[in-house]
Amino acid sequence: MCVITLYRFPLWQIVRAARWLLAILITTSTLFGQRGFAPALTRPEVVTVEELRHIVPEKAQKEMAKAEAAKAKGRTDEAIAHLKRAIAIDSGFIAARNNLAIHYLATGLLDSAVAELEDALKLYPQHAVLLSNLAVGYLMNEKFDAAERAARLTMKLDRTGWRAPLMLGVALVKQRKFTEEALQSLDRARDYHPWAHLFAGRVHLERGHLERAKNAIQTYLSSGDQEHSEIANSWLEVISEREQKSALAYFGDSVNLGRPEGEARGPVK
């Protein structure tokens, strides 16, 4: 899913960027699934006014750098330890808190991740990256109503991104809310993440639009993503069964029994 990792840049670079960016959006690497659903921050492209005002102590920045070095070597426990030290030095070091939550998500410590993000949001309640990652944490923890709320809040702060609409669409489908809003949200992400096609297919299926459902699910499968290929194929089987039932209702049992076309019966009354 796409978790966002924050890297700390010199303050003058952030200030210069902030002069022409009033709100900064997210770039991501991967975490939740193969294509990155929960954003991992590679650059501070989303910066709040509070962050611009906050000066991170040098010791905390060094711990952050050590954490990134440990992460690059695959030493997750070591990276977590360095991030905790950075936060102990500066509780307002939002990049460290965000990245610690991402490590928790990646290692399955979902409650710890959610708690870290919720605490960070008490300091920066308008932080789109934190809210986005919190929505991912809720989704992974199967708290779909909370994920829906977090995704909606993210969309208010990031009106042009695709990740929050994707998370909203997934959260709605997981709650069996097969609505037009779910389709519209997923449509905003269809060019960026294959899951948008998969979950749109589920909405179409539940709404009885079998051809649209089949096309969407086949588009997902053609993307090469393997995360949900098994369930995608099971949905295609459901579509096939429903198509057969629909054909039987129209032509009678000639479809299955091999009756010649010329003997096909009309619609069943």
Q: Which two tokens stand for residue 59?
A: 């010791």
For residue 265, give the DSSP letter: -
For residues 131 and 153, the answer to whether their CB atoms sit within 8 Å is yes
- What domains appear along the chain, each with residue ranges and CATH number? 1-161 (1.25.40.10), 177-269 (1.25.40)
Q: Report the range out of 90-94, 155-159, 184-188 with the highest average pLDDT.
A: 184-188
Residue of 8, 34, 36 lying closest to 133 (CA atoms): 36
State the amino acid at position 127 in one-letter form.
H
Q: Which two tokens stand for residue 166?
A: 């994707």
In the chain, alpha helices (H): 11-18, 49-53, 58-72, 76-89, 94-106, 110-123, 128-140, 144-157, 163-174, 180-187, 195-206, 210-222, 229-251, 254-257
Q: pLDDT digit string (tens) for 131-169?
A: 999 999 999 999 999 999 999 999 999 988 999 999 999
- Tell me the backbone φ, ψ of residue 12, rounded to 5 degrees: -65, -30
Residue of 12, 14, 10, 35 lying closest to 24 (CA atoms): 14
Spell out the residues 6+ positions from residue 3 whose beta carbon is closer than 8 angstroms to its own.
Answer: 28, 29, 31, 32, 36, 37, 38, 39, 40, 102, 105, 106, 133, 136
Average pLDDT, the chain: 80
For residues 134 and 121, the answer to whether their CB atoms sit within 8 Å is yes
Q: pLDDT digit string (tens) for 93-121?
A: 999 999 999 999 999 999 999 999 999 99
Which residue bears the tokens 């619609």? 267
Residue 23, pLDDT > 70, answer no
Largest pairwise CA distance in the chain:
84
User: What pLDDT score does 233 carry?
Assistant: 95
Q: pLDDT-based confidence at 245, cuts 50/70/90?
A: confident
User: What pLDDT score does 40 carry?
Assistant: 47
Q: Which two tokens stand for residue 158?
A: 């990031």
Query: How far is 203 from 187, CA to CA, in rounded Å?
Result: 12
pTM greater than 0.85 = no
Phi-psi region of 208 (alpha: psi -120 to 50; beta: other; left: phi over 0): left
Q: How many Cα atoms sit within 13 Å of 18 on the Cβ side? A: 16
User: What pLDDT score does 239 carry?
Assistant: 94
Which residue bears the tokens 């708290």? 143
For residue 30, give the DSSP letter: -
Which residue bears the tokens 């010199």? 10
